[in-house]
Amino acid sequence: MRRPPTSPPKQHLLRIRRCLPSVWRNAAPAQESPPPSPPHPASSLSAILYSCTARRAPLADLPAARAAVEQAAGKARAFPWNLLIWGYAGRGLWEDVILSYEKMVAWGVAADRFTYPSVLRACGELREVTIGRNIEQRIRRCRYGLDMYVWNALVGMYAKCGELEDARRVFDGMAVRDVVSWNTMVSAYASTGKWNKAFELLQQVPGANVVTWNAVAAGNLKAGNYDEVIRLVSQVRGYHGTGVDSVTIVIGLKACGRTGYLSVGRELHGVAVRLCFDSLECVVNSLITMYSRCGMMSSACLLFRACSVRSITTWNSLLAGFAFMEQIEEASLIFREMIGFGVCPNGVTVLTMLSLGARVGHLCHGRELHCYILKHELDSSKLMENSLVDMYSKCRQMVVAQRVFELMQFRDKHAYTSLVLGYGLQREGHVSLKLFDEMIVNSIEPDHVTFVAVLSACSHSGLVTQGQLLFAKMVSIFGIAPRVEHFSCMVDLYCREGLLKMAEVIIDNMPFQPTAAMLATLIEACRIHGNTEIGDRAAKKLLAMRTNNPGHYRLIANMYIAAKCWPELAKVRSLMSTLELNMIPSHSLLESEYDVCPVEQDNFLNHVTYGLSSDHLIDTDSSSSEEVKCSEAFGG
C-alpha cells in the first residue's frame, strides 16, 4: 500500500494560493509583519480596502481606500489603517505611509504589531530617525503584544539611518533573536566599513547561515577589500561545505575579476558547475566578466556562445570585457551582432562603446553610436551626453564636442573637464583656461581630475606661469591635495619648456616616488636639450626600477648615443640582456574610414629622427640656455 505524501504537491499549493485573498497573495516580503485575520464577509469597509490596497490594484484606487478609512475613523480600529499603510508600502510610497500613521495616531487609533514594521521601514527609507525614535518610545510603552517583527524592524530602521549605536542598543535588548536580527546587525556594521565589529558579531551568530556571510562579503566588496572577500568566500565553503549559494559565487567572482585571481575564479567556476549554478544568468554574467578582466577573452566568448538565452546584461558583460581589453573591433562586431539578433541596446551598452571609442580615439565608431542614439531616440541622460563630449574631445573633434556641450541642458564638472582636456590636446590652452574660469563662475567645484586636465592643457600650450598659479590655487583655494598625476603634469610642463632643473626639483621634493613615465619624460627632454648631467641622474633612477618597458631603455640609450657616452650605453645594453628585453618595433594606428590599421615603423627611421632632433636642438651651454628659457617663460 502506497504511503500518502507528507506534503501537498506543488500544483495543489498553487491552486490554494489562487484562492487566497489578493492581499495575502501579494503580501510584503518574508520579514514584513504577518497579515491579520481576514475580516468578516459582511464588512463593506474591509471589502473596499482589500480591493483598493491589493498590490495589483491601480494606484488611483488608493485615494478611495484612504477616504473609506477616514470616514470610519471614529470606530477606532487599527485593521483598516494597517491595510491602507500596507497599500502605500507595497508601492514604495513611504511618505504616505508616515502621513497615514500620523493621522491614525492623531485620531486616537492605537497602532498594533501589524502597524509598526511598515512604518519603521518607511522611516528607514526616508532617513526619518526622529519619527523612528518617537515610534520606539510608543513601542516601549506598550511592550505587551509585540513580536520579533517589530524589534527587527526597529533595528533595521536605525541601521538604515546610520545610527548604529541605537541599532546595537535595541539588538542587545531583544530577549529573543532570529537569523534576521543577526543578519541586520552584521550587515549594518559591514556596510559602514566596521569590519572588526562585523566579524566579532559574526562569530557569535548561533548557526550563522550563508546569508550572514554573504552580507559581510558584500560589504567588503563594496568597500574594495577584494582579498578579504576571497578569504570570506573560502571560509564559507569551509564552514558550510556545499552550503554556498549563487550569491556567494557571484560575490567571489566579482572579487576575482577585480584582483585578477584567475585560479580562484576557475575554482569558483567549478563549484558553480557542481552545484548547478552555472545556468543562472547572474552567475554566467559574473563568469564572463571575471574571465574578461583576467584577460581570458576566449573563455568569456565560449561561455557567451554556450548561453541558450542571452539577455541584454549578458551582451553588455561581453562588450564590457572587450572594452576592458581595449579590443574595439571585436566589441564593434559584438555590438552589430546584438542589433542583428534584435536585442535593443540600453544606456549601459552605448556608454560602454562610447567610453571605448574615447579611450582608443576611434572617431568612426563614435559617430556611428551618436547616429544610433539620435535615430532610435534613446534617453539622453547626463552620463550619455558627457560621454559624447568626452569621445569627441579625445578624438580632437572640438567643433562637434562644443556643439554637444552647448546643447546640454545641465552641464557638470565632467563635461567641462572633457572640453578643457580636448582643447589642451589641441594646444589651445587659453580656451581651456577660459572654460575653467567659466566653470568657477557657474559655481561648479572642480575636482582633482579637472586640475589634471587644466594643468595638462597648460603643459601642451607652454603656459608655465598659468600652470604654476593653478597648481598653487589647487591647494590654497580649492583644498585639493596634489596627487602624483598633478606633479607629473608639472614635470611635463617644465620639460616641454626646457626648464629641466625645475622639473628635477619637482621630482626630488614631491611626497611620492617618481613614476617611470615621469623619469622617462625628463630623460627625453634632457636628450633634446643636451643636458646629460640631469639626464644621467634621472636615467640611474629609472634603471634602478628595473621596468619591463623596452621603450624606457631605448630613451636612455638614445640619450647616451646623442651625448656619445659609450660606456654608459654598454651598461644599458648589458642590463637589457640580463632582463631579456628586446627592442620591439613601435606602431602607429592609421585610421581609415572603416577600420584601424596598425602600421609598423622602421627602427632605423626612429634613429634618424632622434639624431636629427638631437643635432638641431642640443645647446653647448645648457645652464645658460635654461636661464634664458626660464626668463622667457615667466615674462622676464
> What domains can be seen in the chain, in order of their start residue?
209-309 (1.25.40), 495-633 (no CATH)
pLDDT for position 369: 85
The half-sphere exposure of 45 on its side-chain side, counting CA atoms within 13 A, is 17
Read off the pLDDT of residues 407-465 as tens digits, 9 standing for 90 and up.
Answer: 998 899 999 999 999 999 999 999 999 999 999 999 999 999 999 999 999 999 999 99
Sign of CA dihedral 8, 10, 12, 13: positive
Task: Read off the pLDDT of residues 517-574 as tens digits, 9 standing for 90 and up.
Answer: 999 999 999 999 999 999 999 999 999 998 888 888 889 999 999 888 888 888 888 8
CA 175 to each of CA 121, 143, 148, 217, 417: distance values in angstroms, whole numbers, following the listed order? 21, 12, 9, 28, 56
Look at residue 104 in the predicted model and tell me its pLDDT.
86
Taking only the tens place, the pLDDT of each residue in 131-142 is 999 988 888 887
- Counting Cα atoms < 13 Å in the Cβ hemisphere of 339 gives 11
pLDDT in tens, 243-264: 688 999 999 999 999 999 999 9
What pLDDT was estimated at residue 7?
43
* Residue-level pLDDT at 155: 92
Whether the CB-CB separation of 157 and 130 falls below 8 Å is answered with no
pTM of the model: 0.62
Report the SS3 class of residue 590.
strand
Helix 148-160 × helix 116-126 angle, to 10°: 10
* Grid cell at residue 363: 572617431
Of residues 524 and 9, more confidence is placed in 524
- First-last CA distance in the chain: 109
Instruction: Give the pLDDT of residue 177.
Output: 86
Asked if residue 635 has pLDDT above 50, the reply is: no
Check: CB of residue 382 under 8 Å from CB of residue 412.
yes
> Per-residue confidence at 229, pLDDT binned at 50, 70, 90?
confident
The more confidently predicted of residues 7 and 346 is: 346
The answer for residues whose C-beta is within 8 angstroms of residue 242's C-beta and 6 or more apart is: 274, 275
User: Residue 77 has which C-alpha cell?
Assistant: 480600529
Quick one: pLDDT at residue 209?
73
Q: CA–CA separation, 594 vs 68, rounded Å?
A: 67
- Average pLDDT score, the chain: 79
- Contact between 369 and 350 under an 8 Å Cβ cutoff? The reply is yes
At 24-78, the pLDDT tens digits run 334 333 344 444 444 443 345 555 555 554 554 454 466 766 777 666 655 557 7
The lowest-confidence range among 125-134, 191-200, 585-594 is: 585-594
DSSP assignment of 347-403, as one string? HHHHHHHHHHHHHHT-HHHHHHHHHHHHHTT----HHHHHHHHHHHHHTT-HHHHHH
DSSP string of 545-589, one letter each residue: TT-S-HHHHHHHHHHHHHHT-HHHHHHHHHHHHHTT---PPPEEE
pLDDT tens for 475-517 read 999 999 999 999 999 999 999 999 999 999 999 999 999 999 9
**Which of 331-345, 358-372, 393-407 bottoms out in mean pLDDT, i.e. has the lowest?**
358-372
What's residue 88's pLDDT? 87
Quick one: angle between helices 464-476 and 429-441, nearest 10? 30
The Cα 459–Cα 140 span in angstroms is 66
pLDDT at 519: 94
pLDDT band at 188 (very low <50, low <70, confident <90, very high): confident
Average pLDDT rounded to a whole number, residues 365-378: 83
Q: What is the pLDDT of residue 62?
A: 67
pLDDT score, position 633: 43
pLDDT digits (tens, 9 = 90+) for 338-350: 989 998 888 889 8
- Please state, in angstroms and rounded to a whole number, the distance separating the CA atoms of residues 392 and 362: 9
Residues 315 and 334: beta-carbon distance below 8 Å:
yes
Residue 550 near residue 520, CB atoms below 8 Å: no
According to the model, what pLDDT value does residue 610 have?
A: 33
Residue-level pLDDT at 631: 44
CA 208 to chain centre: 30
Question: What's the confidence (pLDDT) of residue 71?
Answer: 64
Grid coordinates in use for 529?
636639450
What percentage of the chain exceeds 70 in pLDDT? 77
- Sequence-distant (6+) residues with CB within 8 A of 270 are none
pLDDT at 337 over 90: yes
Q: Which of 81-95, 181-195, 317-331 has the lowest mean pLDDT?
A: 181-195
